[in-house]
Structure 1
Amino acid sequence: MAENTSDAGLTFLAAGLQQFAERFIEGLHVRYLAWLAAPAEFETFRASFAQVSTSGFAMASQILLIVAIVAVPLVIGGRRIRIGTGTAWSRLLLSATVAVIALAIGFVAARLLASQGLPVQTLQLWVTSTVAGWVVLIALHWLLLQQQPPEARLRRNRLTKFVRDLSLAILWAVAGLSLVASLRLWGAGAGMIDLWGTVVVTLPTLLLSTGAIWRHRRTLAGTVAGPRPRAFWRGSFARCWPAIVIGFILFIVVNAQVARTMGVALPGGAVAMTALIVIATPHLDAMIWDWAQRGLNSPNISTAAAAWRQTARFTVLIAVIASLGALWAAPLAVGFGIDLRHVALDAFKVALIGMFTAFCWNLIGTSIERVSRADRIAAAAGSTMTSSRLGTLVPLFGSIGKSLIVVFAFLSILVTVGVNVWPLITGLSFFGLAISFGTQALVKDVVSGMFFLIDDAFRYGEYIETTGAKGTVEKISLRSVSLRGSRGPIATVPYGQMGKVQNFSRDWVIDKIALRVSMDTDVELVRKIFKKIGEQISADPELNQNLLEPFKSQGSTEVEDGTLIVKAKFMAKPGTQFLIRKAAMKAILQAFRENGIRAVPKPFTGEVDPNA
């Protein structure tokens, strides 16, 4: 039975492919015949100019003149926009003003150059296409060049060359589409329009655009990769992006040609907008990401403003999804009889919830990042690697806050789409109660951790010792603390198993040095040597900044195994005593050699085997 079903499926697939091939070959033949008829259609097209008392040469001259007239304010305005130092909104307003002025000048000039009818419509078409092409070029310049920092001169030079090459392809495409639209306006034949659209517009535009992208593929990848540091997936995506763009363009061109050959009408506007959205979105995202990172690093930008910059990326994502849905999903929904008003309203509510959730998420993340950065700067200025109490608690509370935000957002979305969430909340409550009874150790760990953090027993970067482990605090979670030992291994200790916590990195530390010398050593001389060493250490700026009490002698307080025990001590900041101790020991050994003081090793007191 399964084999029969498989054979039937293969037969159906083969029949479909054969039918497609036959229709495609038939369409190619029809297009070929239409192209052969293009010369005759061209003669008919030339004759159409005589009906409105003009000629093809005169019409072409008027088109060139009207394009030149419109180009003058566009060039002047574009130069003013490029060299301007205003805000993005002021440049956008200036661009809109220049476009409106150019359109007005062009329409007035079209009225003056030609009489009513097809000549005026043709000139107005070229005025509109010229302004539209200028808008696309300004958007391309702003998207790739305007947001580059001034110090990135090399990248800006490379991007300038890429924009120049890509602008040539865009101008060719705009001029070609305007020419094809003019042919349709004057009633040219289908074969002539197809021939010009394919040979004069599509193929050259394809070669120019793909050639520009391939020549500047590294530059294009750099614009999508964004500033460093970047995620691994983003770097990999950026390296593949030029090939993706070329493949996407080839797919659109091939799909359009196949559809034309088979006589299937494609929504040209939807395809063009989809291509523009898909290609521009990664560049826009990288630009907003760079803008958001600058806001995050700038002390002049408030936390809320920096969080909004981060949220702008999510806003762009929602806009992209909404645009693609309006272009493709909306017609399908209408075809299936779905009421778009309710769907659009629910989608709008979900989008608002998502944007508010993203803003709260980024607000917490920005606050954590700024507190952590200020804490690191303060720690570096204080020559210590430990974190403040705020720097320790904020990341933990931030994780809790983000989790609550996600839960509330999920429940809000369910309520928006008409789902009754109270049974779900009740079920989760009983489930959580059952889990709490079954995981009493986990509850103990969480509660114990809360009290440890409230007591400020340890912070990030501090060296502590607790039951069964000691090391530097590297991670603090809800359930446990991770300690990295001096040799590298990490020990994860649940809070519930932590007894006494001994913190070696809080406030200050006293380091004592004990040395054995012979019984005939001059103790007063040793005291003077230690005092001189203490003065030398205090005179060293690198050591003195971490010294809280000077290095000084404690005299000789005991005799052990026929040797004198001389001691010294100093007080330093936690974690810096090892460097001071190293310098002190080096100075002590050198001073003992110079003054003839002999350090005595600890006598061996073990029993010796007489038979050994």
Structure 2
Amino acid sequence: MEASTASEQVILGFQESWNALLRLGPAALALNVALSALVLAVAFGVGLVVRRLLKRGARAVPGPADAEKTIRTRRVTQVTWAVFETGLVLAAFFALAAIWGFDLLGWLTAGLGQRVVESVVRIAILAVVTFAAAELATLLVNRLLARMARHKSGGVRREAQLNTIGPLLHGVARGVIIIIGAMMILAEIGLEIGPLLAGAGVIGLAIGFGAQTLVKDFLTGIFLISEDILAVGDVVEISGSSGVVEQMTIRTVRLRALDGTLHVLPYGEAQIIHNMTKVFSYHVVELGVSYESDIDKAFEVMIQVVEDMRADPDLGPKILEPLEVMDVSALADSGVVLRARIKTPPGAQWGVGRAFNRRIKAAWDAAGVDIPYPHMHLVLPQAPQPAEAQPQRGA
């Protein structure tokens, strides 16, 4: 009886193999068991050796040992091991089937089996090529950004911009490659790509109308990055939340506050941005002296303290210009408020300010300039005087 359909061919093939298995004698059965154990042992040993070699190869990959390299190397190692493990399992499975009389290889090399194998192989190749292209794109973007960062014309600000743009470029490149690979795999399966693209366009239009906030956040983020309003590493204040820009995604900016709090803000809420570390910064000095103190002398001491700080090898590079005196800013209740400011590189104003406060206190104490502080004058009520003895009547 000849099978006319693919399912009948499969059932007939398994029935023939099962009948041949039942006709095996004790010696042949023992030999098959021994050969099966040998195949499994060899497969397990090969897998163990290859996995150790992959781990050693991952540790030997050249390049800086940063977190991104670790993640990328681990991902490549995992995918490589998954591909090899799948091939190893299939090879062991076919070997076991051949030992026990199941002619899987013959079925897969003719007729329907051959077509299925060819489609699966092409899909697997497309998937591996897509993954390799995505990883290669990430590597090329990293190399390009690293080369641009080594260019000295932009300095620290240029490096911060590149650190901001890098994750966005990675995401866009990987997304485009994955979409193209998915389309090719769907075409290989037999699906029509044209209707899918048309449907995706309609769905995208509907999502665009229904998710206007997401679109607004995305476009706002693009303009913030392209216009260099803020970058990773800047200290900013947005919508009442302040901190260091830790990460910028395609929709949100993440600020790490001084106490460790992580603020996640959509770009759409960034209506007003206070960037405290763009190009340069100032530490504004507002200190009070008593009304009895010599104001000119107080300013002279302040100027001298800043000059001494500029001569310091640690603090000198953090002070760009001499002290800018801005005269008396207020006549307060308890003293005269003096104002000045110190120009610093971006982000150095707080450290410079703390060092200046420590030094100006000692310098004013030595120069006899008094810093006013609240005084409390206690007035205690006097004890009542004892009344004089009244003269006795009739004395």
Give the structure-2-normalised TM-score: 0.72
- Give the 3-state SS of the residue equivalent to 1:601 in structure 2: coil
Q: Distance in 2 between matches of 1:443 and 1:409?
A: 25
Note the C-alpha offset of 1:568. 2.8
- State the match for 2:171 in structure 1: 399
Question: What 5-or-longer segments of structure 1 have no aligned partner?
Answer: 1-26, 32-189, 191-258, 605-612
Note the C-alpha offset of 1:457. 1.2
Structure 1 contact 537–551 (Cα < 8 Å) conserved: no
Q: Distance in 2 between matches of 1:323 and 1:341?
A: 20
Q: Distance in 2 between matches of 1:366 and 1:595?
A: 61
- State the match for 2:30 in structure 1: 260
State yes or no: 1:495 paired with 2:253. Answer: no
Q: Distance in 1 between matches of 2:74 and 2:263?
A: 39
- State the match for 1:444 in structure 2: 216
Question: Are residues 505 and 378 of structure 1, via their aligned partners in 2, closer, same or farther at CA, if it must alter by over 3 Å?
Answer: farther
Question: What 5-or-longer segments of structure 2 have no aligned partner?
Answer: 1-24, 377-395
Question: Are residues 284 and 482 of structure 1, via their aligned partners in 2, closer, same or farther at CA, if it must alter by over 3 Å?
Answer: same
Structure 2 contact 149–162 (Cα < 8 Å) conserved: no
- State the match for 1:356 in structure 2: 129
Note the C-alpha offset of 1:317. 4.4
- State the match for 1:592 in structure 2: 364
Larger relative contact order, structure 1 or 2 (CA cutoff 8 Å, min sep 6): 2
Structure 1 contact 386–460 (Cα < 8 Å) conserved: no
- State the match for 2:83 in structure 1: 318
Structure 1 contact 375–388 (Cα < 8 Å) conserved: no
Question: Are residues 308 and 422 of structure 1, via their aligned partners in 2, closer, same or farther at CA, if it must alter by over 3 Å?
Answer: farther
Q: Distance in 2 between matches of 1:540 and 1:414?
A: 67
- Give the 3-state SS of the residue equivalent to 1:549 in structure 2: coil
Note the C-alpha offset of 1:312. 7.7
State yes or no: 1:287 paired with 2:56. Answer: yes
Question: Are residues 352 and 311 of structure 1, via their aligned partners in 2, closer, same or farther at CA, if it must alter by over 3 Å?
Answer: farther
- Tell me which amino acid in the other structure corresponds to 2:204: G
- State the match for 1:505 in structure 2: 277
- Tell me which amino acid in the other structure corresponds to 1:325: L
Note the C-alpha offset of 1:499. 0.8
Give the structure-1-normalised TM-score: 0.49
- Tell me which amino acid in the other structure corresponds to 1:287: R
Structure 1 contact 291–309 (Cα < 8 Å) conserved: no
- State the match for 1:297 in structure 2: 64
Note the C-alpha offset of 1:494. 1.5
Structure 2 contact 108–114 (Cα < 8 Å) conserved: no
- Tell me which amino acid in the other structure corresponds to 1:322: G
Note the C-alpha offset of 1:598. 0.9
- Give the 3-state SS of the residue equivalent to 2:138 in structure 1: helix
Structure 2 contact 221–251 (Cα < 8 Å) conserved: yes
Alignment of 1:313-462 (within 5 A): 314=79, 317-329=82-94, 331=97, 333-334=104-105, 339=110, 341-367=114-140, 369=142, 388-462=160-234
Structure 1 contact 516–600 (Cα < 8 Å) conserved: yes
Question: Are residues 312 and 497 of structure 1, via their aligned partners in 2, closer, same or farther at CA, if it must alter by over 3 Å?
Answer: closer
Q: Distance in 2 between matches of 1:564 and 1:535?
A: 23
- State the match for 2:287 in structure 1: 515
1:404-456 Cα distance to aligned partner (Å, 9 max, x none): 22222122122223333333333333222222222122222212222222211
Note the C-alpha offset of 1:523. 2.9
Question: Are residues 354 and 385 of structure 1, via their aligned partners in 2, closer, same or farther at CA, if it must alter by over 3 Å?
Answer: same
Note the C-alpha offset of 1:519. 2.8
Q: Distance in 2 between matches of 1:451 and 1:353?
A: 36
- Tell me which amino acid in the other structure corresponds to 2:136: L
Structure 1 contact 361–405 (Cα < 8 Å) conserved: yes
- State the match for 2:256 in structure 1: 484
- Give the 3-state SS of the residue equivalent to 1:542 in structure 2: coil
Structure 2 contact 138–173 (Cα < 8 Å) conserved: no
- Tell me which amino acid in the other structure corresponds to 1:297: P
Q: Distance in 2 between matches of 1:337 and 1:353?
A: 20
Could you tell me the percent identity over the aligned residues?
23
- Tell me which amino acid in the other structure corresponds to 1:389: Q
Q: Distance in 2 between matches of 1:328 and 1:596?
A: 92
Q: Distance in 2 between matches of 1:548 and 1:503?
A: 19
- Tell me which amino acid in the other structure corresponds to 1:441: T
Q: Distance in 2 between matches of 1:372 and 1:539?
A: 36
- Decide which structure has greater helix share: 1
